[in-house]
Homo-oligomer: A and B are copies of this chain.
């Protein structure tokens, strides 16, 4: 009974994610989203309720398909000793070699923090949770790689490493080379 859906919300959220990532929330207008998703305004509003609703779906998708896959190797019960280095090398490559979305646009969430949307409490909560996830994952990676350190030293190293990753993401759009240096510094600390 009735016509079948010709799109899935995940696909649309993924497409919208890229647009928001490229142009930022405020600079993305409805016509941009219509064009990119191939959907009409009416359909977008029917599925997501508002531009903000679509953005929230895009953020979910960003976490699911961009952030968490990268962090996954750091989150198992038994973390490979090389996992953290692999993660950092992956970041470094993304930032310096190719024209990846990450190098060109930085982090979708961190960027939103400085934009008008960053005054929104619910978005701040999402960013804070992301920040926490990142620190937890890196802490696990540090523990696996640097079993020679005591717990306090591991924790301190994890904070440093997390901070360097954050700084790199915050600055990469403006100065990719500097971002690469930051990741290299993190690698050096992890390896020492």
- Residues of chain A touching chain B, judged by Cβ–Cβ distance below 8 Å, are 23-24, 26-27, 106, 110-116, 118-119, 124, 127-128, 131, 135, 156, 159-160, 162-164, 166-168, 170-171, 173-175, 178, 181-182, 184-186, 188-189
Contact = CB atoms under 8 A, between A and B. Distances in A.
> Which 6 A-B residue pairs are closest in the complex by CB-CB distance?
A114-B114, A111-B114, A163-B167, A166-B167, A170-B170, A167-B167
Nearest to A107: B114
A106 B166 CA distance: 14
B167 A124 contact: no
A12 to B, nearest CB: 23
A124 B175 CA distance: 9
Q: Is the interface of A mostly helix, strand, loop or mixed?
A: helix
A189 B192 CA distance: 14
Given A160-B189, A164-B164, A27 B174 contact: no
20 contacts: A24-B114, A24-B118, A27-B116, A106-B114, A110-B114, A111-B113, A113-B170, A113-B173, A114-B170, A118-B173, A124-B173, A124-B174, A127-B174, A127-B175, A131-B178, A135-B178, A160-B189, A163-B163, A163-B168, A166-B167
A28 to B, nearest CB: 10
Given A171-B131, A174-B128, A188 B156 contact: yes
A114 B116 contact: no
Nearest to A178: B131
A105 B26 CA distance: 19
Contacts of A27: 116, 119
